[in-house]
Amino acid sequence: MDTPLGRLINFLVEQTKDAVEPLVASRIFNQFAELDGVGLSSTAYYSRFHEHIAPNIGKCNNFNVVTRIRMMFALSATVPDSFLALIRFTGTVQLDERKRINKYVSNDGRLNLEGYHRCMARSKNQWGKDPAEVTRLMNFLVEKAKDSIEPLVATAVFTDFGKSEESGLKAHTYAQKFYKQLAPEMDQLVNYSIQDRVRVMFGLAGEVTDNFLTLCRMEGVVELDEKNRICEYSSHDGTLALKGDHSHMARMRRSSEYQRKIRRISIWKFSGEKNCRSPKRARISQYDNDDMEYIGAVEGQPKAEPIDAPYNYNTDHLNEDPSISKNERVIPVESKIISLHDFLKQLTQFICILESLELEELKQQIKESISTDDDESLQIIDICAVLETFCFGISRKTRVAASNIPAMKVKDFLLAFKFFLLWMDSSELRELQQKVQGEIEEPEFAEKVLPISDIRQSLQNLLSTISQY
């Protein structure tokens, strides 16, 4: 089949012929975009597959049923009813809530597929195959927590581990590894002393299981908060005493203290640079061009958690009684909230206005998150900080127009971002709106562009930060 769809499906069949777990689809479509050489983006091919090939997979009789099942499974495609009937004729199949194959066993027993379709599915599966990495992570966490008597800034710890691994994975990836795989099995990590494990669980606010709680009580007195996190521990022999607050407010307070420390280092560093033209430029330069992380004078110093922007917080409400549970605390009137889903819907509209096929996959991921994940409440003060980080970071990625990469004019982007801030309809964002308007009027941005790849990465960083609240 020497047609555009024919070439695409032949390529996908070849790439998925040996798959036994969900693959990273974006990589496969990127490869095809490079090989096809007609100038279309990977997102265009991604859309062709999900909009034209997958819905008609039951009619693709040039390929046997097993081949088509593998492809649909590996690429996390929604199974149409006509093809589902055919699958059930050949074996036993189980679909998830979005009608994607997450388990299939053929009648003859020769094909067995199983996996969950998440953004990080492949990484999670690989973790299971690399017990050495689990050991390295736990060793690292024990070392980090060994002298701590109060909760740690978790993102800083996991960022440090990522840098030590040189894996290129973000802190959130390792955090998920700890909270969803290591912490629930803490009672089984018998190669580490109970006190070492208690320090790690306390320092990183891990949820304590009943089995591990029993072990803790064998060597000391332990108190848990409403989310089963260790908030106080005293060993029977008197060698270890821990006490701390894991509430959101307490995390913000620690994060703010950490930010001030990093900011002092950054300002000291940039004050000595010959090319630092103004205080404003110095503040903006605190961000790295790619990852929007603070640059410190000490190698390996990570960004703060969970907020990274140089935002002037009103900290009067942070000095609260840690004995009061999160549910009992009264949020001050000035500390407004917005639902996570409402924020994501506004963000989706912003992405739509940018009118880029390169951002289509990210937009779909956000829509999926809205439909599948629980809604939560976010404080506007947190949103302000995250959006300031996003704005400052994106301002460092502008460049002179180049014809060889997909890009959009800086002023077009800033105008869309301004409308997004207006849609948020919050007085707390007024200062940021004014800053954006000022940049729109800056003559230096008139001829500059933003690469779409940088916009996509900045949006992904924003979503990653929001997910930590």
Predicted TM-score (pTM) of this structure: 0.37
The Cα–Cα gap between 29 and 35 comes to 10
Beta bridge partners of 205: none
Sign of CA dihedral 118, 119, 124, 126: positive
DSSP alpha helix (H) spans, 146-247: 154-165, 171-177, 194-203, 210-219
Q: For the beta carbon of residue 114, count every other beta carbon within 10 angstroms.
A: 14
* Identity at 219, one-letter amino acid code: E
Please list the pLDDT of the chain residue by residue as tens digits (469 residues). Answer: 568 888 899 999 999 998 888 887 777 888 888 888 777 777 678 878 888 899 999 989 889 999 999 999 999 889 999 899 999 999 999 988 778 898 999 999 889 998 876 533 333 444 444 556 777 888 899 999 988 888 998 888 888 888 888 777 777 888 888 998 889 888 878 778 889 999 999 999 999 998 889 889 988 999 999 889 999 999 998 889 999 998 876 776 776 676 666 655 544 544 444 444 433 333 333 333 333 333 333 334 343 333 333 333 333 333 333 333 333 333 333 447 888 888 888 898 899 888 888 888 888 888 877 877 777 778 888 888 888 888 888 888 888 876 677 888 888 899 889 888 888 888 888 888 888 888 888 887 778 888 888 898 888 888 877 766 6
The Cα–Cα gap between 469 and 467 comes to 6
